[in-house]
Amino acid sequence: MQINELARAKINLCLHVTGQRDDGYHLLDSIVVFADIGDLVSVKPGHGFSLTINGPFAEGLETGAENLVLQAAQQFRETCDGAAITLTKNLPVASGIGGGSADAAATLRAMSRLTGAPLPSDNGLSLGADVPVCLQNMPCRMQGIGDVITPIKGLPAIHAVLVCPKAGVATALVFDALESKGNSPIYGLQVDDIPLGRMADFLREQRNDLEGPSAILCPEISLCLDQIRHQGAFLARMSGSGATCFGLFETRQASENAARKLALSNPDWWVKPCILGA
């Protein structure tokens, strides 16, 4: 018996930093959606817990106890003897699209299906702030330190292009460089049957508070955003703490044409057309 789960790329359509707790954790307000592309987690019964990693972005990834996939699987150690896990790494590492958190969440879902045991009561928060929203695997508003998750119904599926210049940005440095940590929350969200035009207007009024400091630390981000806008995206923005950026388009053809042109002019970048929220 083998269980497969797609660890879909997580995209922050907007990300507002609204405060910081005394323990250092930042308070966020974010609209999160998921792409129809991602890593693949495959789980089957085993003796003890093991992890094999393959795929285009497997190089350099550790398979030991520090890996979030193994940590997620071991939360089910009281209900099974072990699991043999294979992670096919299709998404760039540390790129602001929740790769590690999405992998951990997919592992939790797969292990729950394999064992029949319930998901962890903390929804994976102990594994990372993005794991609970990735566990939902649907459009959500994420608030607090990632522990307040509200599913959003009525968001339209959006054609998009994801672009990562393959330049690393350390999340801790981005937050350290953020001038204001008490910014305004998301406003004006209507969640019932939102047409694409109104969604576009809403998103233009929001922001990613981490985009500015990330672009200072990694100038390739600004270049990425400029080139995405040049392809006619109605919105270009960075996801998470970077460095992946996204462009939103009105049609599949427009997103695929943009992806092709961006890849041709920037062969060293990771460029993928996708559908968000599907």
- Catalytic annotation on 10? yes
Other CB atoms within a 10 A radius of the CB of residue 151 amount to 11
**Pairing relation of β-strands 26-45 and 140-144?**
antiparallel
Assess contact for 87 and 69: CB atoms under 8 A.
yes
Task: Show the tokens assigned to 206.
Answer: 């929001």
Question: From the candidates 10, 39, 89, 209, which is the catalytic residue?
Answer: 10
Please tell me whether the peptide bond between 243 and the residue prior to it is cis, using omega within 30 degrees of 0.
yes
Residue type at 91 in one-letter notation = L
Distance CA 152, CA 140 (A): 5
Distance CA 64, CA 177 (A): 32
Assess contact for 9 and 277: CB atoms under 8 A.
no
DSSP tag of 74: G
- Catalytic annotation on 39? no
Question: From the candidates 29, 39, 103, 130, which is the catalytic residue?
Answer: 130
Assess contact for 85 and 69: CB atoms under 8 A.
yes
The residue assigned the tokens 């969440």 is: 105
Q: Which active-site residues does the annotation give?
A: 10, 130
